[in-house]
Amino acid sequence: MFPTAIAGSLPKPDWLAEPQKLWPQWRASGEALAQTKADATLLWIKTQEDAGLDVIGDGEQARQHFVHGFVEQVEGIDFENKVRMGIRDNRYDAMVPQVVGPLRLKGRVHAMEAQLARAHTKRTLKFTLPGPMTIVDTVADQYYGGGREGRIKMAFAFAELLNAEALALQADGVDIVQFDEPAFNVYMDEAADWGVQALERATQGLTCKTAVHICYGYGIKANTDWKTTLGHEWRQYEKVFPALAKSSIHQVSLECAHSHVPMDLMALLEGKEVMVGVIDVASDVVETPEEVADTIGRALQFVPKMKLTACTNCGMAPMDRSIATRKLYALAQGAELARQRHG
């Protein structure tokens, strides 16, 4: 009951990359960089296990950013000439690469960290990839013609590539492949209309568990400012959850701790396993186990006991490393307390 997991990313140690940045510069290059990426991956596997988490991730230590880490390994993308573009409906500006030709994988994307993680933990291993719709929202299109049709074509092209990598991750021994789709919370109509279908294309043929993470973003200023404009009740999930409930995706990861998301929206995910965000990634205040257990208790009104995983609201990449570590311990201790309360 109540297994614990992180949404995906963890802070990079400052010997690996600039700390507390969303697009950090690496400290090393070439072989030395490959070694520090592997070292940081191992360190976080050990830390997650020590904290007592049940589902282990690689902490996304080997990718600069959760979208561009994948896109870097795709042919047909010009990474040399990035352009400034408003992403997530212009919530913030990012320097994004341009799609300039047919898309093809250059080879494996995440073999190193997936195989390393599998060799060093016996616990359930979850691996994250960006979702097709979110990738489309994080690159500049010079090839697919733009507009709704262009977005759909490009999303399905990325979905095919994601599917190839997801199948390879499964062969590496990954137990859960999760796709991160923060864009589902921004373009709600398109998410329900074709985003979920593109996501299902990315999971085609997988026999391991599949998951999708939908959130209100990292705890960076652009996101916390955006949240202040969303009003008293955040109902963004309302449009996409019914489409996900009908889909083949097994698990849905959502924001819940310190959030204005009405808890009853989780009832729209009937039949799904729900990764309930019980750790706030936009606050440096470390939750107490009691707070974590209380959030789990409130979610239990709408999620069956055996379908609830306790999770972080979102990735922790831009956080202080020691605070993130203490939050992992709070997550595990809070879930344990909830097991005592509800067992």
Residues that bind Zn ion (CB under 5 A): 215, 314
* Residue among 211 and 215 whose Cβ is closer to Zn ion: 215
Residue-wise DSSP of 210-232: EEEEE-S--SSHHHHHHHTTS-S
Q: Which is nearer to Zn ion, 172 or 255 (CB)?
A: 255
Residue 64, φ and ψ in degrees, nearest 5 = -65, -40
Nearer to Zn ion, 143 or 184 (CB): 184
Shorter beta-carbon distance to Zn ion: residue 75 or 225 = 225
Decide: 336 and 289 in contact? Cβ < 8 Å. Answer: yes
Q: What is the phi/psi pair of residue 100, to 5°?
A: -125, 0
Compare residues 143 and 237 and give the one whose CB is closer to Zn ion.
237
- List the 251-254 sheet strands across, edge first: 55-56, 124-130, 176-180, 209-214, 251-254, 273-279, 308-312
Q: From 249, 250, 242, select the one nearest 269 (Cα to Cα).
A: 242
**Minimum CB distance to Zn ion, residue 127 (Å):** 15
Q: Residue 16 or 215: which CB sits closer to Zn ion? A: 215
Tell how strand 92-105 and strand 74-87 pair up. antiparallel
- Taking the complex as a whole, the smallest distance from the CB of residue 205 to Zn ion amounts, in Å, to 26
Shortest spacing between CB 215 and Zn ion, in angstroms: 3
Contact 11, 328 (CB under 8 A): no
Which C-beta is closer to Zn ion: that of 44 or that of 143? 44
Q: How far is the CB of 93 from Zn ion (least distance, A)?
A: 19
Integer Cα distance of 131 and 143 in angstroms: 20
Query: How near is the Cβ of 212 to Zn ion at its closest, in Å?
Result: 11
Least Cβ distance, residue 304 to Zn ion (angstroms): 24
Q: How far is the CB of 268 from Zn ion (least distance, A)?
A: 19
- Residue 182 beta carbon to Zn ion: minimum distance, rounded to whole angstroms: 5
Spatial distance between the Cα atoms of 333 and 323, rounded to a whole number of angstroms: 15
- Percentage helix, strand, coil for the chain under 3-state DSSP, each rounded to 5: 45, 20, 35
8 Å CB contact between 272 and 247: no
Nearer to Zn ion, 36 or 64 (CB): 64
Element containing residue 36 per DSSP (H, E): helix 30-51
247-274 per-residue burial string, b: 16 or more CB within 10 A, e: under 16: bebbbbbbbbbbbebebebbebbeebbb
